[in-house]
Amino acid sequence: MHNQYTGKASLQNAGVGGPRSGLPAYRDGFTPQVIDLGRYLFFDPLLSKNGKLACASCHQPDKGFSDGLPRSLGADGRPLPRNAPSLWNAGLQHRLFWDGRASTLEQQMLGPLYDPKEMANTPANLRNSLNASPEYRRLFGLAFPSAGKEIRLDQVYTALAAFQSTLISLNSRYDLYAGGFHDALSAREIEGMNVFRSFVARCAECHTPPLFSNQQIAVIGMPQAKGLAFDAGAQSVSGEASQRGGFKVPSLRNIVKTAPYSHSGHYTNLHETVEFYTLGRGHAVPKNEKLTLHWHIWEPKLSPNEINRLVDFLGALTDESFKPSVPRRVPSGLKPMPLPGSGNLSKPLTKETP
């Protein structure tokens, strides 16, 4: 990464005060063979029980590693309870899922892989399917040369974590501005950044640079998904009443790519999402719920112009420099996901141009 955030994480201190602040510890040390194996696994529907869903079905590169749906579709084609979160900078995060129940990428992937409503696979079936593929056995042998001939599940998790750790987005026009190139942002975007950092709007207190998330659980009273019971969020993990309706503060990196927004996918555009914060404290909380709203969710009374400038600024957080290509074919022989752009599946993997 050639930008101002390249320094050693252990020597940096995260903060709120300015547009430049430190990164958390990051995942590193994976070989190219392990990373590219993870890329094939990520796009291969072999990882689902019915062979119709891949990790990339819900986390599509062209959609900010989300899927463009209010709520993702599971193995049975029915909507799941929550919106698909983006995976950009996932390797820099210590709290994953909307309810924050996983602390590592390896823990995170166990949920979708084996949840009967998501990819619906089982550990035994996944292991057997991969070992039945001569191409996967060859690629796992290259990635883990000293691990024996049988593919192990921990190798699968390591490879997927390695690939996801490469999804780095830290070189947007905002980052150029933070590094001293003033002309990287327009006058409107700078105005929006100043609103974003102001004590009135308080956006930066939770969406803290450089990840634009403090990774904490916040109860802000976002609207729930229609037709479903109230989503208790982090309370279902911690058991704490104060975390009822609480969700992880999402990163705003590449946010213009990941509509619709919120854990329930309630908002279709960024203007509506930003406006939520100025419509009154707790205005979207169901009447029968008593939530412990986050202290800074109040009534900033932002003007229409300030809302528009905030949206302008959010557009300056886009950086897809490390967006990976979808493989033209995957080792299982199935069609890689997402289907658009899958290309010619007859060419051997060894001749593929990334």
Residue 175, helix vs strand vs coil:
helix
Please state the pTM of the whole predicted model. 0.88
Dihedral angle computed from the Cα positions of residues 109, 227, 255 and 338, in that order, rounded to the nearest 10 degrees: 50
CATH architecture of the domain covering 24-168+324-351? Orthogonal Bundle (1.10)
Q: Residue 218: beta bridge partners?
A: 247
Of 39, 22, 43, 20, whose CA–CA distance to 31 is shortest? 39
Residues 44, 336, 250, 317: is their CA dihedral positive or negative? positive
- Whether residue 347 has pLDDT greater than 80: no
Task: Evaluate if residue 12 carries a pLDDT over 60.
Answer: no
Residue 260, preceding peptide bond in cis (omega within 30° of 0): yes
| % of the chain at pLDDT higher than 90 | 82
Cβ atoms 98, 108 nearer than 8 A: no
Using alpha carbons only, give the angle 350, 353, 354 rounded to the nearest 5 degrees: 110
Question: In which band, very low, low, confident or very high, does the pLDDT at 20 lie, cut at 50, 70 and 90?
Answer: low
The Cα–Cα gap between 13 and 23 comes to 7
165-176 pLDDT per residue, tens:
999 999 999 999
The CATH superfamily assigned to 173-317 is Cytochrome c-like domain (1.10.760.10)
Residue 22 pLDDT: 75
Residues 22, 102: Cα–Cα separation, whole Å: 23
* Per-residue pLDDT tens over the stretch 245-295: 999 999 999 999 999 999 999 999 999 999 999 998 999 999 999 999 998
What is the location of CATH 1.10.760.10 in the chain? 24-168+324-351, 173-317
Query: How far apart are alpha carbons 122 and 128 in whole angstroms?
Result: 10
